[in-house]
Amino acid sequence: MTDLLSASGDAANADVDVLVVGVFSGEDAPVLPESLAGVDAEFGGRLAEQLAALGNTGAAASLTRLPAPEGLHAKLVYAVGLGDAGDLDDETLRRAAGTAVRAAFGEETVAIAFEGDPEATATGAILGAYKFEGFKTDGNGDAAPGSIAVYGAGEDAVAKSRVVGESIALVKDWVSAPANLLRPPTFAIEIEQAAVAAGLEVEILDAEALSAGGYGGVLAVGGGSSAPPRLVRLSYRPEGARKHIALVGKGITFDSGGYSIKPTAGMWEMKYDMAGAAAVVGATIAAARLGLDVNVTCTVALAENLVSGTAYRPSDVLTIRNGMTVEILNTDAEGRLVLADALSRAVEDEPDAVYDVATLTGGQLIALGRRTMGLMGTDAETERIRRIGDATGEHGWPMPFPDDLVKLMESSIADVSQCAAGLKRDGHMIQGGIFLSKFVPEEIPWAHLDIAGPADSDSAHGYTAKGATAVPVRTLVALLEEHAGE
């Protein structure tokens, strides 16, 4: 993985392949900050003029490549627009750094000199350096830079960005892995290895233990696969921590839809259906490595939803861990069933708050698109996630639980219906949240994050590569930091 470094002094002295400088927007030419006076001097005081001649006026995320003049130690200079200086924020810095680093693939060393918060720049840089290598026998194109130095970033900021970046890379690697190489037992082992390395306690429940524990949802969903389901629990217990937070994730390593089988077109994307589990595991590992002063219990339910003679069916009635019965109408609405079990187990620990993450519904994508999470739960917690998500660049939007949709979830033969009666699609994303609310006591603060769209990107942009995004790891880490300070 790319080595993230701290740098100080005059960027004009950076001995690297690529020196990245940030410029602000101006009317006719970009505006150079005073910190780039040394760099500008080596361009004969004409750097802004040269950039303007090449069409770069400092607009946010614009990028212009220039050969470095003889007076600089760098080989190339990349000028990245940061927009209006008065509007500069952390997300602009993250995106600009990520854009520059992605453009520098194939170069070995990079240094970045931006105004603003250097931690945001460092985070964007390390995120932009991610690349899933894949399985091509003759390689997968240019490699990410071997090192990135960020001017003004102290050792603490670099260390934090490095930890978060490494956790996100782990999550992206898992989410991008082919479903045949990451089935539930294998995924459980990989989680255990990563968690133990971070100093976490690990408990893995196999099919026999799930049966003994009454986990009817996980067992039903995973019953059609030859790779049996697992439930994995990670515990982080720093000495003296006052609060206890539960994170819960959906880990469907492949979702065919079961007997309610999905169309062939797009089914290959269903390897992403474990992105919620990967994200909460990644955030828990990051919390441990950062030494956050908060207790965290992470519960993930892992299953593969396939068709076979042992698969569950529409019309089945299941009993969840907490004793509630569920009428099954659609075997492709399986994520809420494994989450019901995982949530039921999580609340038994009486945490101060519960947050679950899942690629739960296509309705989220229809309602909010590919880059905005659907947030449901108690008002204070959904608002907290929205606020933190805005700060991290992982945006979410709170959704209501209207009475008419709550009524649609009633069943005539079980405690609750898995889907709306008659499989009505009204408020499909909200239906999922309403169902999950049945498994979290009203007195426990709770938020459900539906990441069906944001879990992967169909194109590269800013610090985000095409493919798995690891949303909402950074939001969860910031959330845990906030709880640690309360």
Q: Looking at this protein, which amino acid is placed at residue 16?
A: V
Buried b (16+ CB within 10 A) or exposed e, 206-215: ebeebeebbb
407, two tokens: 């009524």
For residue 186, the one-letter residue type is: T
Tell me the C-alpha distance between 457 and 467, whole Å: 5
Q: Could you tell me which residues come within 8 angstroms of residue 376 by beta carbon, excluding any fewer than 6 positions away?
A: 382, 398, 399, 401, 429, 430, 433, 434, 436, 437, 447, 448, 450
Q: Helix axis angle, 473-484 relative to 155-176, nearest 10°?
A: 130
Judged on CB neighbours under 10 Å (0-12, 13-18, 19+), 460 is: middle
Q: How many helices (H) and strands (E) does the chain have?
A: 15, 19
Catalytic one of 243, 262, 387, 438 = 262
Strand 446-450 and strand 373-377: pairing? Answer: antiparallel
User: Is residue 65 annotated as a catalytic residue, yes or no?
Assistant: no
CA proximity to 482, closest of 380, 411, 396: 380
244-255 vs 295-305, strand pairing mode: parallel
Among the options 102, 131, 289, 336, which is catalytic? 336
Q: How far apart are CA 29 and CA 40, in angstroms?
A: 14
Asked about 262 being catalytic, the answer comes back as yes
Q: Between the CA atoms of 180, 185, 186 and 192, what dihedral angle is there, to the nearest 10 degrees?
A: 150
Q: Which residue has the tokens 């750094």?
A: 97
Strands 317-319 and 244-255: unpaired
DSSP string, 273-315: GGHHHHHHHHHHHHHHHHT-SSEEEEEEEEEEE--STTS--TT
Order of strands across the sheet with 416-417? 317-319, 325-327, 416-417
Structure tokens at 59: 């607009």
CB contact set of 34 (below 8 Å; sequence gap of 6+): none
397 in Cβ contact with 383 (< 8 Å): no
Annotated active-site positions, please?
262, 336
